[in-house]
Each structure stands twice: as C-alpha cells, then as structure tokens.
C-alpha cells in the first residue's frame, strides 16, 4: 500500500514538474484602439489594456508555452476576433489597430 502511494505521488509530481519545464515564449499584445480590451490565449484571459484614447501603442505582455495557440481579443462593443499561429521561442505579437482589426505575427527563428 505504501509503495503504491509513493509511486502515485512521484508520478503526479513528475507530471506537474514536466509541465513547468516546457519552453516559454514572450507575447506582446498591442492596443491601438480607443477601447479597453482583454487579450486571450486559448480562450483564457492573458492580459488587459485599459481604454487608450490616445491610440498610441498601449500594450501588455504575457508568457505562453511554445506551440500552436489561438490568440483573441474581446471588449465592449468589439467584434470577437482571433487568429491561430505557431509561437516559437522567439515569441509573437498581436495588434488591435485603430480601425479595430486584430492581427497576429509570430517571429521566425533567426541565426
């Protein structure tokens, strides 16, 4: 019984530790619109930018695991917009423009 309990504990601990060791990438979300918005990664709130009446590159940052993700933006009186892209170690950017168009860019691996 003790051996089984010890095995279960070690298995769970290794699984949780493996998830924490996954490579991370930096994603910067820009808000050039005059509206307050929330940015999402895989439908989970990643970060928020308050109303930006100056429309001057307000932004927030987030760390995500590398791999394929769905980035999206939501806000009051703003159409839900999203994009899917592969985020590598160099990271990505997403931009909500003054005209309220959402675009995503992944950085390519450079030498």
Structure tokens at 78: 């703003």
pLDDT tens-digit profile of 30-58? 999 999 999 999 999 999 999 889 988 89
In the prediction, which pLDDT does 17 show?
46
Confidence of residue 3 (pLDDT cuts 50, 70, 90): low
Q: How far apart are CA 81 and CA 63, in angstroms?
A: 20
Sheet with 24-31, strands from edge to edge, namely 58-65, 24-31, 92-96, 102-106
Confidence of residue 19 (pLDDT cuts 50, 70, 90): low
Q: Of all residues in the chain, what percent carry a pLDDT higher than 70?
A: 78
First vs last C-alpha separation in the chain: 54
Strand 58-65 relative to strand 24-31, pairing: antiparallel
Q: Single out the residue of 66, 64, 68, 67 nearest to residue 39, CA to CA.
A: 64
Q: Where are the domains of the chain?
A: 23-106
Which one is the CATH code of 23-106: 3.30.1150, 2.60.40, 1.10.15, 3.40.50?
Answer: 2.60.40
Residue appearing with tokens 């760390």: 63
Higher pLDDT, 25 or 15: 25
pLDDT tens-digit profile of 81-103? 999 999 999 999 999 999 999 99
The phi, psi pair for 6, rounded to 5°, reads: -65, -45
């Amino acid at each position: 019984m003790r051996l089984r309990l010890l095995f279960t504990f070690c298995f769970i601990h290794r699984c949780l530790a493996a998830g924490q060791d996954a490579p991370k990438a930096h994603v910067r979300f820009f808000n050039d619109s005059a509206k307050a918005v929330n940015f999402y990664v895989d439908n989970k709130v990643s970060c928020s930018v308050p109303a930006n009446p100056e429309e001057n590159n307000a932004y927030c940052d987030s760390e995500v695991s590398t791999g394929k993700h769905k980035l999206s933006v939501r806000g009051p009186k703003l159409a839900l917009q999203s994009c899917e892209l592969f985020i590598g170690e160099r990271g990505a950017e997403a931009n909500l423009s003054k005209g309220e168009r959402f675009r995503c860019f992944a950085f390519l691996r450079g030498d």
